């Protein structure tokens, strides 16, 4: 049971009592996970168990991550195998943080004219036209081949066993029931999710053994391709890439393309063949001595770095956790950063070139910080003019006019804002650290024929109008700017914190506050994961109709009446409760803190949903 309001009040108070913070552990709903050898955390207990199994079998953190990713995708943990994956990896052999870009791309024929001729303002939320090319299989295999130690057969074994049949959980059943009207539109989805003996009208019940024989056969084909390559004398790495080729260039690709086009999609064999995983250099900033890393502008990750740069101009610790001044200052900083995201972020492999260096400059952050009024909310913050960018704001005045109208309080808008994913955190005693927020292919996904692969819905994050964001206009072969955003921080060149969260446009808001909870207020990793956060809805949502609600501020019920009333007087539209009505949750944050002095890892696992961690 969740503790009552006093629990949250005490947690907030004790954040200021730094000398006795260690004594406050009993106040968290979950304990800190202490590990000397490894930590594995993800969105489902069974998926975390898959990671633990790999660790016990001698794998490293990358191997365990791949097993957890495969299991979570098989369990429909708000993703499936046709979705997208990205990661930050700390490589102890080089001391570097590496970015993995396994985001799918828009298929051939996906142009603004194509969707506008259908009468759409954005690509659709559901169906085959919402799908980017599958990214998760390629991301998993590239990570494993380049940085893992085990075979594909090893890391896929738990997922294959689960595809044969596992007890389906309440969250997945609920999503199937809620999306029945979409599932019945697509023949292969209907066949998978709805009982054939009922004429395709009965959804699973909690605890039913959910079987995915087509997916099991696809995963076994990947293992067979690997084994065939090994039998021919190829090494471990080459054998994994043989399996990669079978998925993207062989019989699996052929069935994905055939079945997607049968259902009205646009995929071609060339789309899958030409797609590739990029191993990238992430972007970073230094905040008060901590080097914080995020993936670049094909994600929203740099907004956290921009916000930190802005907030470095203020003494947050003296303001007090979730005080009026703190909420106001952080809210304004987030809005300034997200306004830049809405206009400047997109696929860096396509022109025009994103001005990321200027966006992350300390000088630009100081300029943006100067726009924050200490006594008043500004609901009309627009994107700025970072160094190296000509002043073009006159073309985009409509961005100042958020969409506030009869739909602003519609629950479906909040649902879209928090569009789910999952997160994976893994670390081992050798220093390998992995942070991932995989997503895409959530229920109600279109199933790609006999492959059993649920396709992505990420096309909806593109825009069609270059006046809205010229960097994120849909184009064949291009990646949409996504919300997926793992985080990592180093201190003196060593791992300090690895952290990620699910939740669409809320992700970097949650992660920013989580990071500040630890760095500014001295919370431990579990306290910071459970601490009450607040949210801005001022940015354009990345899903559905891309609605924007300037001035809307979501707070937890732990924020007292005086603070709420004062914020309202400052011009805020304050709402209590968010994330589907869970008023006492900060969101599903999962993280690992590295105690370098004692040589141990401390895991924090969210109290939201089914997130679960195991350490040893």
Instruction: List, for residues 474-494, the tens digit of each pLDDT value.
Output: 999 999 999 999 999 999 999
Q: Record the tokens describing residue 566, joined without a space.
A: 């004062």
Neighbours of 494 (CB within 10 A): 12
Euclidean distance between the first and final Cα of the chain, in Å? 26
- Is it the case that residue 228 has pLDDT exceeding 60? yes
Asked whether residue 230 falls in the same domain as residue 377, the answer is no
**Is the same domain home to 233 and 206?**
yes
Give the mean model confidence (pLDDT) for residues 155-179.
95
DSSP string, 97-138: EEEEEE---PPTT--HHHHHTTT-SS--SSSGGGPPPP-HHH
Task: Kindly state the percentage of the chain with pLDDT values over 70.
Answer: 88
* Residue 410 pLDDT > 70: no
309 in a structural domain:
no
Distance from C-alpha of 115 to C-alpha of 121, rounded to nearest angstrom: 8
Question: 298: which 2 tokens?
Answer: 């094909």
Asked whether residue 61 is assigned to any structural domain, the reply reads yes
Q: What is the C-alpha separation between 265 and 110, in angstroms, rounded?
A: 10
Identify the band that residue 144 occupies on the pLDDT scale cut at 50, 70 and 90.
Answer: very high
Mean pLDDT of the chain: 90
Q: Are residues 63 and 194 in the same domain?
A: yes
Angle made by CA atoms 489, 583, 22, in degrees to the nearest 5: 45
pLDDT beyond 50 at 448: yes
- Give every CB contact of residue 470 below 8 A, 6+ residues apart in sequence: 346, 352
**Cβ distance 459 to 480 under 8 Å?**
yes
Give me the residue label for tokens 């997922």.
159
Q: What is the pLDDT of residues 54-109, one digit of tens each?
A: 999 999 999 999 999 999 999 998 899 999 999 999 999 999 999 999 999 999 99
> Minimum mean pLDDT among 12-26, 412-426, 435-449: which range?
12-26
284 part of a folded domain:
no
Residue 289 falls within a domain, yes or no? no
407/445 same-domain check: no
Host H or E run for residue 262 = helix 251-262
> In terms of domains, do 576 and 488 share one?
yes
Say which range, 43-47, 237-241, 428-432, 486-490, has the weakest mean pLDDT.
43-47
Q: Are residues 49 and 148 in the same domain?
A: yes
Which residue, chain included where needed, has tokens 């190829």?
234
Indicate whether 108 and 186 sit together in one domain.
yes
Instruction: Report the distance separating Cα 471 and Cα 474, nearest Å.
Output: 9
* Cβ contact 325:452 at 8 Å: no
* DSSP state string for 14-78: HTT-GGGGGGGGGGSSSPPEEESSEEEEESSHHHHHHHHHHHHTT--HHHHHHHHHHHHHHTTSS
Tell me if 306 is assigned to some domain. no
Let me know whether 441 and 572 are in one domain: no
Q: Range of 59's domain?
A: 45-279+424-461
Residues 19 and 95 in one domain: no
Question: Do 347 and 434 fall within a single domain?
Answer: no
* pLDDT classification of 200: cutoffs 50, 70, 90: low
Could you tell me the two tokens for 58?
């001698």
User: Interhelix angle for 324-344 vs 362-369, to 10°?
Assistant: 120
Helix (H) or strand (E) holding 244: helix 236-249
**Burial of 406 by CB count in 10 Å (0-12 exposed, 13-18 middle, 19+ buried)?**
exposed
d(CA 297, CA 291): 18
List Cα–Cα distances, 203 to 169, 175, 185, 199, 451, in angstroms: 13, 10, 15, 11, 21
Q: Is the pLDDT of residue 26 over 50?
A: no
| 203 and 342 fall within a common domain | no
The stretches of 299-448 forming alpha helices (DSSP H) are 302-311, 316-319, 324-344, 356-359, 362-369, 411-417
Whether 314 is in a domain gets the answer: no
Distances (CA, A) of 582 to 150, 509, 525, 532: 40, 17, 21, 11
Angle of helix 507-519 relative to helix 302-311, nearest 10 degrees, comes to: 40
Domain of residue 515, CATH code? 3.60.20.40
Q: Among all chains, which residue has been given the structure tokens 């909420």?
A: 327
Q: Which long-range contacts (CB under 8 A, 24 or more apart) does 562-567 make?
A: 563/322, 563/323, 563/324, 563/327, 566/324, 567/324, 567/327, 567/328, 567/377
Contacts of 439 (CB under 8 A, 6+ apart): 78, 79, 83, 84, 420, 421, 422, 458, 482, 484, 502
Q: What is the pTM of this model?
A: 0.92
pLDDT higher than 60, residue 19: no
Residue 307 lies in a domain: no
Residue 580 has pLDDT above 60, yes or no: no
Among residues 138, 154, 158, the alpha carbon closest in space to that of 146 is found at 138
The pLDDT confidence band at residue 607, using thresholds 50, 70 and 90, is: confident
User: Which pLDDT tens digit goes with each residue over 365-388?
Assistant: 999 999 999 999 999 999 999 998
In total, how many domains does the chain have?
A: 2
pLDDT of 416 strictly over 70: no
Q: Over the stretch 252-270, which tens digit does the pLDDT of each residue have?
A: 999 999 999 999 999 999 9
**Structure confidence at residue 391 (pLDDT):** 60
The mean per-residue pLDDT over the stretch 29-40 comes to: 96
Mark whether 359 and 252 lie in a shared domain. no
pLDDT at residue 543 tops 60: yes
Q: Is residue 474 part of a domain?
A: no
Distances (CA, A) of 403 to 231, 331, 505: 60, 19, 16
With 0-12 / 13-18 / 19 or more C-beta atoms within 10 angstroms meaning exposed / middle / buried, residue 250 is middle
pLDDT the model gives residue 246: 98
């Amino acid at each position: 049971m969740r503790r009552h309001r006093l629990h949250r009040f005490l947690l907030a108070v004790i954040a200021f009592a730094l000398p006795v913070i260690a004594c406050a552990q009993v106040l968290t709903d979950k304990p800190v996970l202490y590990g000397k050898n490894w930590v594995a955390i993800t969105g489902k207990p069974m998926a975390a168990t898959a990671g633990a199994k790999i660790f016990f079998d001698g794998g490293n953190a990358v191997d365990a991550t791949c097993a957890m990713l495969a299991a979570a995708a098989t369990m429909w943990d708000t993703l499936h195998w046709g979705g997208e994956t990205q990661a930050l990896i700390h490589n102890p052999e080089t001391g570097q943080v590496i970015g993995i870009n396994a985001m799918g791309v828009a298929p051939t024929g996906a142009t603004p004219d194509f969707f506008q001729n259908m009468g759409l303002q954005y690509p659709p939320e559901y169906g085959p036209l919402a799908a980017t090319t599958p990214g998760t299989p390629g991301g998993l295999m590239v990570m494993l081949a380049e940085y893992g130690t085990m075979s594909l057969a090893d890391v896929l074994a738990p997922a294959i066993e689960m595809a044969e049949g596992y007890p389906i959980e309440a969250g997945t059943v609920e999503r199937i029931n809620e999306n029945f009207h979409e599932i019945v539109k697509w023949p292969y989805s209907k066949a998978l999710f709805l009982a054939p003996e009922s004429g395709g009208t009965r959804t699973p019940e909690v605890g039913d053994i959910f079987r995915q024989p087509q997916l099991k056969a696809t995963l076994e084909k990947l293992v067979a391709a690997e084994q065939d390559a090994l039998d021919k004398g190829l090494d471990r790495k080459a054998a994994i890439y043989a399996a990669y080729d079978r998925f993207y260039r062989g019989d699996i690709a052929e069935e994905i393309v055939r079945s997607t086009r049968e259902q009205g999609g646009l995929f071609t064999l060339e789309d899958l063949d030409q797609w590739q995983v990029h191993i990238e250099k992430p972007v970073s900033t230094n905040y008060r001595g901590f080097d914080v890393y995020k993936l670049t502008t094909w994600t929203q990750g740099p907004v956290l770095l921009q916000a930190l740069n802005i907030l470095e101009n203020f003494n947050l610790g003296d303001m007090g956790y979730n005080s009026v001044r703190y909420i106001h200052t952080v809210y304004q900083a987030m809005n300034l950063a997200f306004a830049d995201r809405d206009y400047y972020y997109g696929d860096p492999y396509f022109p025009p070139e994103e001005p990321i260096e200027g966006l992350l400059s300390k000088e630009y952050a100081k300029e943006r910080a100067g726009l924050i009024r200490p006594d008043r909310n500004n609901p009309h913050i627009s994107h700025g003019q970072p160094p190296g960018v000509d002043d073009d704001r006159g073309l985009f005045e409509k961005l100042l006019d958020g969409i506030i109208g009869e739909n602003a309080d519609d629950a479906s808008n909040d649902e879209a804002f928090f569009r789910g994913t999952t997160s994976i955190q893994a670390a081992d005693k050798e220093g390998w650290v992995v942070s991932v927020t995989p997503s895409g292919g959530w229920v109600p996904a279109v199933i790609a024929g006999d492959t059993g692969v649920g396709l992505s819905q990420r096309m909806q994050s593109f825009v069609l109008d270059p006046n809205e964001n010229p960097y994120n206009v849909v184009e064949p072969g291009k990646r949409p700017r996504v919300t997926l955003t793992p985080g990592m921080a180093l201190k003196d060149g060593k791992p300090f914190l690895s952290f990620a969260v699910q939740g669409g446009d809320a992700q970097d808001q949650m992660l920013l506050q989580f990071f500040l909870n630890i760095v500014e207020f001295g919370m431990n990793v579990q306290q910071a994961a459970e601490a009450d956060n607040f949210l801005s809805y001022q940015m354009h949502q990345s899903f559905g109709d891309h609605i924007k609600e300037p001035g809307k501020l979501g707070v937890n019920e732990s924020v007292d009446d005086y603070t709420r009333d004062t914020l309202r007087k400052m011009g805020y539209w304050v709402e209590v409760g968010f994330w589907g009505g869970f008023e006492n949750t900060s969101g599903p944050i999962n993280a690992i803190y590295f105690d370098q002095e004692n040589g141990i890892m401390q895991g924090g696992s969210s109290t939201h949903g089914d997130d679960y961690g195991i350490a040893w």
